[in-house]
């Protein structure tokens, strides 16, 4: 039963409670087209610069994987990690100022 619940959550494209519709749509697209299929891709919610933002992490199946950051209006704010190892969004180090809220999806 626990395994079934996990599979249902991880593979589900149902609407995620308390998320903007556009983020739900992006999560659905991301879950279908993710690069890593090894259980490490995820989408997490943070408070950053007094707003909710969503970090779409590609996972850890490659050395230079990264994460796209979107506002709650689905505007792309930037990209973290990657080959350049970028940590800056809107001129500040994201992980030094962002406050983790919750995981909203993982594969």
Token digits of residue 102 = 């919750």
Beta-bridged to residue 51, according to DSSP, are: 48
pTM listed for this prediction: 0.81
Alpha helices in the chain (DSSP H): 2-11, 21-33, 94-97
| Sequential pLDDT tens for the chain (107 residues) | 443 333 333 433 346 777 899 999 999 999 888 677 777 899 999 999 999 999 999 988 777 889 999 999 999 999 999 889 999 999 999 999 999 999 999 88
Token digits of residue 92 = 């500040």
CA distance 104 to 102: 6
CA distance 35 to 23: 18
Token digits of residue 95 = 């992980």
CA distance 103 to 75: 19
Give residue 24's pLDDT. Answer: 93
């Amino acid at each position: 039963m626990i395994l079934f619940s996990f599979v249902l959550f991880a593979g589900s494209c149902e609407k995620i409670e308390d998320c903007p519709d556009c983020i739900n749509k992006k999560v659905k697209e991301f879950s279908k087209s993710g690069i890593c299929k090894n259980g490490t891709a995820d989408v997490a919610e943070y408070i950053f610069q007094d707003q909710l933002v969503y970090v779409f992490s590609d996972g850890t199946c490659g050395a230079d994987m990264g994460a796209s950051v979107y506002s709650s209006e689905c505007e792309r704010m930037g990209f973290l990690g990657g080959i350049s190892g970028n940590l800056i969004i809107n001129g500040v180090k994201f992980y030094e100022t962002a406050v983790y809220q919750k995981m909203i999806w993982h594969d």
